[in-house]
Amino acid sequence: MTDAPSPELPAPRPSGPVRRFSDDEVAAILARAAARETDAGVSAPNDPTLSDLMAAAADAGLDPAEVRRAASLVVPAPGGVARIVLGAPDRRDVLAVLDGLPFPSETQALAREAERATGHRGEVVESSAGRFVWEERHTGGGTEVTLTQTGSALELRVRSDHAGHYAALWFGGFVGWALLSALTPLGALPLLAKALGFVVAPFLVARPFWVGSDRRAAARLERLAIDLARVAEERGTAP
């Protein structure tokens, strides 16, 4: 007598036309899915569907379910005044649309996973039939997780606010310029030039560090959304 194979989560059933992915989208999806895997050498066909990507991932040793979760992510292009002035946004937003899943009956697992992934304790702001909201606030920013039942799909939205982190970088630039002004010939500049330096220099010094910090924050937010999507799937399909 052989053991019965463990059940696998089915691929989502699209409610509209079959979605196809561009080369850039394929690269982004596979990079997200391979973040915790050892082999990212996936060769996908041109103009692939989600089923094509999942099959190619399985052939390359990646978990097809990770590919499906990565493909569910919608990452809006950063914009706003902060993106223009500072070089990167002070807020990030990721949406995952999980087709064909029921709302989890036990949402505390989502809160535990969010706390584990962010490293911060938070609180459940709302927990009702078809809607769950968790958030955490810490010095420099915060994270909000919202899970909503929308028709036959679950919408998982993860938001982060890290404006306070920029303030720390700006202050570092301000202190750096102050030291340069005091310890170098910059101190001999005219008063107007020194004042202008105190206004402009902190932004110029902070900008490259802020851009790099935002890039890492965006990657963490995508990983958090994928991890929470996995928990929602597991709890939504549990007997």
Query: What is the reported pLDDT for 35?
Result: 66
What is the residue-wise DSSP string for 3-42?
Answer: PPPPP-PPPP--SSSPPB--HHHHHHHHHHHGGG-S----
Residue 219 has pLDDT above 80, yes or no: yes
- How far apart are the C-alpha atoms of 145 and 158, rounded to whole Å? 5
Query: What is the reported pLDDT for 237?
Result: 54
| pLDDT tens string 64-102 | 888 888 888 888 777 666 666 777 777 888 999 988 888
Residue 36 has pLDDT above 60, yes or no: no
Residue 228 has pLDDT above 80, yes or no: yes
Amino acid at 11: A
Per the CB < 8 A criterion, the answer to whether 75 and 208 are in contact is: no
Tokens 């990507």 sit on residue: 53
Domains of the chain from N-terminus onward? 1-71 (no CATH), 75-163+210-237 (3.30.530)
- How far apart are the C-alpha atoms of 176 and 217, rounded to whole Å? 25
Per-residue pLDDT band at 16 (split at 50, 70, 90): low
Q: Is the dihedral of CA 68, 69, 72, 76 positive or negative?
A: negative
φ and ψ of 19, to 5 deg? -80, 135
Determine the Cα angle at 71 with ends 70 and 74, to 5°.
95
Query: For the chain, how many helices (H) and strands (E)?
Result: 7, 6
